[in-house]
């Protein structure tokens, strides 16, 4: 006689593991980048150092072909579109930071979006952690991809790196747009901002290890923080704050000693345009950033403000930001069809 099997109510059921939301988004984000004509390419800068670039698909094909045939890299970038390089900050990877801008710019510009070292797929075994080293690696990678001239757009920490690129390689970087960033951060400035925020270090502020810390961070950098369930914050923490030790070293290395802090004198000058290449786009919540702006503001610099936005203005108000950015980029090339001047 067959025995009837009964489920034991006392037996604990195995709990299904929830897929990380941000990990699950990766295939969708990659598909969207391909839709905009972009592909991912790992570029070896030096032995042990690799930068992941999102670049025009044709550029990647040419890069691979030239690498096989050992042709000069200057033949890679065969597009007539002006080159725009978007550099992200500590808030996320290249794609998560700049997807809205890639969508807005890829039709008229050759857009390059690198992952900085210790973000995304970019790695190094070098002990160097300074913004100068990041800038050197990005510049080398862009040249290997065939880029000869470009406009750099950097947000937050990415602006630090972009400003170092503009300072050290003015032939490569013809113009610079800084979004909520500055060209240098002294010990005194750093301490002033930390005191205002109520944190002891940038690592404590920018790299939270729990949900409450992440909510506090977003509360400081976003104008209007949307509601998310706690599990979404946990997913973000798990994915976005990898390589903690190395990123903490990056933050430490971006602070300049007071007696070594000097505002760079950029050699970039306007050409064929009454608008200047060195442009800072900031919002109303910047404190130290404004001080630096007034020092370097002159015929080379212009200021553009966006209301009702926080530190991540390009994500909070992408359409307003994109309109402003397009005007800035077009003003640098007023001789091109469709270019228009800033109002």
pLDDT 10s digits, 51-61: 999 999 999 99
Compute the distance between CA of residue 187 and CA of residue 258 in angstroms, rounded to an integer. Answer: 6
Q: What is the mean pLDDT of residues 220-235?
A: 83
Q: What is the mean pLDDT of residues 164-184?
A: 88
Domain that holds residue 104: 30-184+260-331
Q: Quick check: 155 pLDDT over 50?
A: yes
What is the residue whose two structure tokens read 């370097």? 296
Q: Quick check: 276 pLDDT over 50?
A: no
66 assigned to some structural domain: yes
Looking at mean pLDDT, say which of 8-17, 75-84, 147-156 comes out highest. 147-156
237 assigned to some structural domain: no
CB-count burial class (<10 Å; 0-12, 13-18, 19+) for 25:
middle
Q: Which pLDDT belongs to residue 68?
A: 77
Q: Quick check: 274 pLDDT over 50?
A: no
219 assigned to some structural domain: no
Q: Quick check: 211 pLDDT over 60?
A: yes
211 assigned to some structural domain: no
10 assigned to some structural domain: no
Share of the chain above pLDDT 90, in %: 39
Give the pLDDT band of residue 300 (cuts 50, 70, 90): low
Q: What is the mean pLDDT of residues 3-27?
A: 63
CATH number at residue 135: 3.40.50.1820
Compute the distance between CA of residue 154 and CA of residue 138 in angstroms, rounded to an integer. Answer: 12
173 touches 77 (CB < 8 A) = no
Q: Quick check: 285 pLDDT over 80?
A: no
What is the maximum alpha-carbon separation in the chain?
96
Count how many domains the chain has: 1
83 assigned to some structural domain: yes
Record the pTM: 0.85
Q: What is the mean pLDDT of residues 68-91?
A: 75
The pair of structure tokens assigned to 185 is 């951060």
Task: Pick the closest to residue 86 from 24, 150, 167 (CA basis).
Answer: 150
Compute the distance between CA of residue 255 and CA of residue 261 in angstroms, rounded to an integer. Answer: 9
pLDDT 10s digits, 100-123: 999 999 999 999 999 999 998 899
153 touches 177 (CB < 8 A) = yes
Q: Which pLDDT belongs to residue 72?
A: 57
Looking at mean pLDDT, say which of 25-39, 44-58, 172-186, 278-292 comes out highest. 44-58
2 assigned to some structural domain: no
165 assigned to some structural domain: yes
């Amino acid at each position: 006689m067959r025995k009837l099997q009964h489920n034991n109510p006392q037996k604990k059921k195995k709990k299904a593991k929830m897929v990380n939301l941000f990990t699950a988004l990766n295939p969708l984000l990659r598909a969207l980048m391909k839709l905009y004509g972009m592909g991912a390419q790992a570029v070896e800068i030096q032995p042990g150092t690799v930068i992941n670039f999102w670049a025009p698909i044709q550029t990647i094909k040419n890069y691979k072909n030239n690498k096989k045939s050992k042709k000069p890299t200057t033949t890679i970038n065969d597009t007539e579109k002006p080159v725009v390089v978007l550099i992200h900050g500590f808030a996320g990877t290249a794609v998560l930071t700049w997807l809205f801008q890639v969508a807005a710019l890829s039709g008229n510009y050759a857009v390059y979006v690198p992952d900085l070292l210790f973000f995304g797929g970019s790695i190094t075994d070098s002990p160097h952690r300074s913004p100068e080293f990041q800038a050197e690696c990005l510049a080398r990678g862009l040249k290997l991809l065939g880029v000869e001239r470009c406009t750099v757009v950097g947000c937050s920490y990415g602006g630090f790196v972009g400003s170092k690129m503009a300072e050290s390689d003015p032939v490569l970087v013809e113009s610079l747009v800084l979004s909520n960033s500055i060209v240098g951060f002294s010990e005194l400035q750093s301490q002033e901002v930390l005191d205002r925020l109520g944190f002891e270090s940038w690592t404590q502020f920018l790299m939270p290890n729990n949900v409450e810390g992440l909510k506090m961070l977003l509360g400081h950098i976003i104008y209007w923080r949307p509601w998310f369930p706690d599990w979404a914050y946990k997913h973000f923490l798990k994915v976005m704050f990898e390589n903690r030790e190395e990123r903490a070293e990056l933050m430490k290395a971006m602070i300049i000693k007071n007696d070594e802090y000097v505002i760079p004198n950029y050699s970039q000058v306007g050409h064929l345009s009454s608008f200047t290449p060195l442009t800072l786009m900031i919002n109303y919540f910047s404190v130290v950033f404004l001080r630096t702006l007034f020092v370097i503001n002159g015929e080379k610099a212009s200021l553009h403000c966006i209301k009702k936005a926080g530190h991540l203005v390009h994500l909070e108000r992408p359409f307003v930001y994109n309109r402003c950015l397009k005007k800035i980029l077009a003003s640098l090339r007023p001789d091109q069809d469709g270019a228009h001047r800033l109002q």
